[in-house]
Amino acid sequence: MLDSIRVKQSEYQATLGLTNLTAAAFDNCELKLNTTQPTDLCSDTFESITTALFYQLEHGVKPEHLKYAKYIWECHPFNEK
C-alpha cells in the first residue's frame, strides 16, 4: 500500500509541475539524533534535514501571471550568480 501511495503522489506531482502553477516551500531543520554510541572515528549523528511542500497555485492564478517570476528569481541579490 505504501508503494501505491508513493507512486500516486509522484504521478500527481509530475502532472502538477506541468501546469506551471506550482509553488514549493523548503525548510531546513537542524537537529541532532544520536543513532549509536559515538566514537573518535564516527559520531553517528543525524544533523540536518530539508523538508519541502509542493502546492498548486489557485484562486485564478494563470501561467501568464508568473511570466516575470523566473527573471526576478535569477536577478535577486540573495541568489548566487
Helix-, strand-, coil-residue percentages of the chain, each rounded to 5 = 35, 30, 35
Identify the band that residue 45 occupies on the pLDDT scale cut at 50, 70 and 90: low
Domain ranges of the chain: 2-75
Distance of CA 66 to CAs 17, 18, 69, 73, 74, Å? 14, 14, 5, 11, 14
Kindly report the pTM of this predicted structure. 0.44
3-state SS of 40-72 is CCCCCEEEEEEEEEEEECCCCCCHHHHCCHHHH
Cell of 68: 516575470
Q: Report the pLDDT averaged over residues 33-54.
A: 68
Identify the band that residue 26 occupies on the pLDDT scale cut at 50, 70 and 90: confident
Q: What is the mean pLDDT of the chain?
A: 76
**pLDDT over threshold 70, residue 44:** no
